Amino acid sequence: MKTRVFSGMQPSGNLHIGNYLGALKNWVRIQSDYECIFCIVDLHAITAYQNPAELRAKIEEIAALYLAAGIDPGECSIMVQSSVHAHAELAWMLTCVTPVGWLERMTQYKAKSAKLESVGDGILQYPVLMAADILLYQAGIVPVGEDQAQHLELTRDIAQRFNSLYGDTFVVPGTSLPAVGARVMGLDDPTQKMSKSATGANHAVALLDPPDRIRKTIMRATTDSNPAVDFETAGPGVLNLISIYQAFSGSADDEVKRHFTGMRYGDLKKQVAEMVISHVEPFQQRYRQIVSEPGYLAGVLREGAERVAPIADDTVRTVKQRMGLYT
Ligand code: ATP
Ligand code: LTN
């Protein structure tokens, strides 16, 4: 039997090249080697208020982008988290074996809660729901960007704790990070991770941005006071641009070094912009095709949920039996 893979993205904000290079590109690459489930994690998105009509539209937009980027629904299951009730059910059972201290230590929780006056319980529970997503399907591999590595460690801790309390139940999953592009930084501020929820106009390149906008955003990217590329002294903004180029082109480290050494920043930015555009334009064409077919997306999502729900139900039944709950 093929190892199962599970991963997901939140339908909050616009998918950007960080989401693509950190996760989606890897999903496309491994999809035929594993039994893959790719989820749109809407229950995670509501840990921050979402306008209901916009959330509903965003769910389908993300699903269409998975397909446009090359996920094959014949090969993988694409599904919406809230359409399989077992995610929320298992999350409760896992909550009950998770010490609050483990959750309070999460850097994402600390960063998010520091910015809020009133911290919703969902923000603290967020990684338990993520653990439920993964453990529900006994996934062996979870391909994500680097910012999720700590949540994956917690998932393993929760799985191990449950297994030691109630007997071997869950597969303990591994993390898969891409070699280049695991942490794409914000173009306006290369000390911050590129993020869907950041608000700066020149922060991110979205996968659906028109080419002109992509050029503008990249041409305005923060660099440093050098005039041209010097790998010894380059600041994080320049290194970020180069790693975006490298992740899209797939070139080796020494090739990239040779190509960019001594190049003026204006030329570097032009080359990065054209490299990004040449990859996202075909996605955008496929995206328009996918959303123009009435009923197609809804069918893919329904089929995905129908395919995975029996696996999830099976796990919940076992967990309930192990815990002595009523089945
Ligand atoms: P938000 O700002 O709303 O938290 P996000 O941009 O972090 O959104 P998620 O939906 O949380 O996006 O992440 C989806 C996937 O993309 C995850 O696997 C995550 O690790 C990856 N990812 C997110 N941002 C980046 C980034 N800047 N570089 C590389 N990978 C990223
Ligand atoms: N927390 C993840 C999204 C996510 C996820 C998952 C990723 C929710 N459940 C399960 C991998 C596996 C994020 O990227 N913010």
Is 44 near ligand 2, meaning CB less than 6 Å away? yes
Task: Name the amino acid, one letter, at 64.
Answer: A
Is 42 near ligand 2, meaning CB less than 6 Å away? no
Cα–ligand 2 centroid distance for 5 (angstroms): 12
- Residues contacting 175, CB < 8 A, separation 6+: 141, 142, 144, 148, 149, 152, 153
CA distance 55 to 67: 19
* Helix or strand holding residue 39 (H, E): strand 35-40
DSSP 22: I
Cβ atoms of 23 and 180 within 8 Å: the answer is no
Which atom in ligand 1 lies closest to the alpha carbon of residue 12? Answer: 3
Per-residue confidence (pLDDT) for residue 1, from 0 to 100: 82
Cβ atoms of 244 and 17 within 8 Å: the answer is yes
If one residue of 9, 113, 126, 130 were mutated to test the ligand 1 pocket, choosing by the most ligand atoms within 8 A of its CB, it would be 9
* Helix or strand holding residue 102 (H, E): helix 100-104
Per-residue confidence (pLDDT) for residue 197, from 0 to 100: 86
Point out the residues that are catalytic.
Answer: 112, 193, 196
If one residue of 6, 10, 41 were mutated to test the ligand 2 pocket, choosing by the most ligand atoms within 8 A of its CB, it would be 41
Per-residue confidence (pLDDT) for residue 45, from 0 to 100: 97
CB atoms within 10 A of CB 100: 10
Nearest CA to ligand 1 atom 23: 19
CA distance 296 to 54: 20
Question: What angle separates helix 296-323 from helix 86-95, to the nearest 10 degrees?
Answer: 30
What's the average pLDDT block by block, 10 residues per block, for the chain (327 residues)?
A: 96 96 98 98 97 97 98 98 98 98 97 94 98 98 98 98 98 97 97 91 96 98 95 97 98 97 98 98 98 96 98 98 96
- Residues contacting 45, CB < 8 A, separation 6+: 10, 11, 12, 55, 58
CA distance 78 to 71: 9
If one residue of 19, 42, 116, 151 were mutated to test the ligand 1 pocket, choosing by the most ligand atoms within 8 A of its CB, it would be 19
pTM, entire model? 0.97
Pocket of ligand 1 (CB under 6 A): 9-10, 12-13, 18-19, 21-23, 144-145, 147-148, 182-184, 193-197
